[in-house]
Amino acid sequence: MSSKILIIGACGQIGSELTARLRSIYGIENVIASDISYNNSEVVNSGLFQILDANNYTEVKKCVDRNKIHTVYLMAAMLSAVGEKYPMKAWDLNMNTLFHVLNLAKEGFIKKVFWPSSIAVFGPTTPKENTAQRTIMEPSTVYGITKQVGERWCEYYFNNYNVDVRSLRYPGLISYKTKPGGGTTDYAVEIYYEALKTGQYECFLSKDTRLPMMYMDDAIEGTLQLMDAPAEKIKIRSSYNLGAVDFTPEEIAATITENLPDFKISYNPDFRQAIADSWPQSIDDSIARQDWDWKPKFTLKQITDVMLTNIKID
Ligand code: NAD
């Protein structure tokens, strides 16, 4: 049976690191990376790559057919901050692409699907601390609405059409390899670049805005672990809560100052503050830990060490 993998949106923040990891595990001949543009030279040049518009069902089907794809990782989406600027485009992209992939799986062309959800499925009425898997979910951003609706559809396709779709509610992800793509947690990457480049950072969130975050390696390992788990262990077919660390801008800045004593942070909250205020501060991921042994490795201090050591300023 074919074990070929297609990554859609492979040039993005998560897709690029996922692609590298999947290529190293399954071999470059078995992993096809795709994106709407050539915006990551490492992804484009270090294995099979094709331009693919995930909005175009016919093209996605053609690619799946031609390459005998077994598993799809659907990483193309419009993120929270950009989504608020283009609500209808965010809705169209985030929903159409999911339906295309779910329908290909329903029709038997694909055997397994990974689709990422987000902590943005929660909203201002959700209890903020140690937010449970099942709780009040009234998202107030278009991005959060697409993720919540997407989760419902994933569960529906599993229940009604036996589609093996698996999903994680990622928190804000931090990595030095690829810059983030327009989310509300982007500050937690930008801050390291600015600390090294200019020694200062103006944060678009207030100093005490606590949000759940995760180092990219943990997110990638969690994703692979979920996808490798036997189907009977996957008890949640909407999307699993996934936690690692949580911190405020003031706390992340303090870890930077330990390494760069002259670093200065200032605060100038913009429209993203309201988005952040609607999200949980910390996540209860006990069901993921119980069902398929999820366990993150990186603490905030370790994240800061890795980021400051590895970011290269031109
Ligand atoms: P990103 O914006 O960095 O990357 C998305 C990629 O999709 C880009 O390379 C873009 O070119 C591509 N793309 C856009 N439209 C496309 C189309 N029509 N066809 C094909 N490709 C297209 O996003 P990311 O941060 O890598 O996020 C990936 C997924 O994970 C998204 O679903 C996002 O909602 C989710 N997520 C991300 C985070 C995070 O902190 N990065 C947190 C929670 C959830």
Q: How far apart are CA 121 and CA 237, in angstroms?
A: 15
77 Cβ inside 6 Å of ligand 1: yes
The predicted pLDDT at position 159 comes to: 98
The predicted pLDDT at position 304 comes to: 98
The predicted pLDDT at position 148 comes to: 98
Q: What percent of the chain is predicted at pLDDT more than 90?
A: 96
Q: What percent of the chain is predicted at pLDDT more than 70?
A: 99
9 Cβ inside 6 Å of ligand 1: yes
The predicted pLDDT at position 266 comes to: 98
Domain segments of the chain as ranges = 4-169+215-220, 172-213+243-310
The predicted pLDDT at position 1 comes to: 52
The predicted pLDDT at position 16 comes to: 97
Helix (H, G, I), strand (E, B) or coil at 195: helix
108 confidence band (pLDDT: 50, 70, 90): very high
Instruction: Work out the number of other CB atoms within 10 angstroms of the CB of residue 241.
Output: 28
Instruction: Tell me how far the alpha carbon of residue 108 lies from the centroid of ligand 1, in angstroms.
Output: 25
Dihedral angle sign, alpha carbons of residues 39, 43, 47, 50? negative
pLDDT digits (tens, 9 = 90+) for 2-58: 689 999 999 999 999 999 999 999 999 999 999 999 999 999 999 999 999 999 999
pLDDT of 223 > 70? The answer is yes
pLDDT of 313 > 90? The answer is no
Query: What mean pLDDT comes out for the span 109-138?
Result: 98
Instruction: Tell me how far the alpha carbon of residue 269 lies from the centroid of ligand 1, in angstroms.
Output: 24
Answer whether CATH 3.90.25.10 is correct for domain 172-213+243-310: yes
Q: What is the architecture of the domain spanning 4-169+215-220?
A: 3-Layer(aba) Sandwich (3.40)
Q: How far apart are CA 133 and CA 140, in angstroms?
A: 18
Instruction: Tell me how far the alpha carbon of residue 235 lies from the centroid of ligand 1, in angstroms.
Output: 26
- Taking the CA of residue 80 as reference, the ligand 1 atom at the shortest distance is 34
Query: What mean pLDDT comes out for the span 136-165?
Result: 98
The predicted pLDDT at position 181 comes to: 82
227 confidence band (pLDDT: 50, 70, 90): very high
Sequence-ordered strand ranges (E) for 111-263 = 112-114, 117-118, 165-166, 168-170, 172-174, 200-203, 211-215, 240-241, 245-247
The predicted pLDDT at position 5 comes to: 98
The predicted pLDDT at position 180 comes to: 87
Residue nearest to atom 44 of ligand 1 (CA): 118
Query: Do 95 and 78 meet the contact criterion of CB atoms below 8 Å apart?
Result: no
Q: How far apart are CA 87 and CA 120, in angstroms?
A: 15
Give the residue numbers marked as catalytic: 143
Report phi then psi at 290, rounded to 5: -75, -45
Sequence-ordered strand ranges (E) for the chain = 4-8, 31-35, 48-51, 69-74, 112-114, 117-118, 165-166, 168-170, 172-174, 200-203, 211-215, 240-241, 245-247, 264-267
113 Cβ inside 6 Å of ligand 1: no
pLDDT digits (tens, 9 = 90+) for 283-311: 999 999 999 999 999 999 999 999 999 99
Residue nearest to atom 35 of ligand 1 (CA): 116
Residue 195, amino acid: A
pLDDT digits (tens, 9 = 90+) for 65-96: 999 999 999 999 999 999 999 999 999 999 99
Averaged pLDDT of the chain? 97
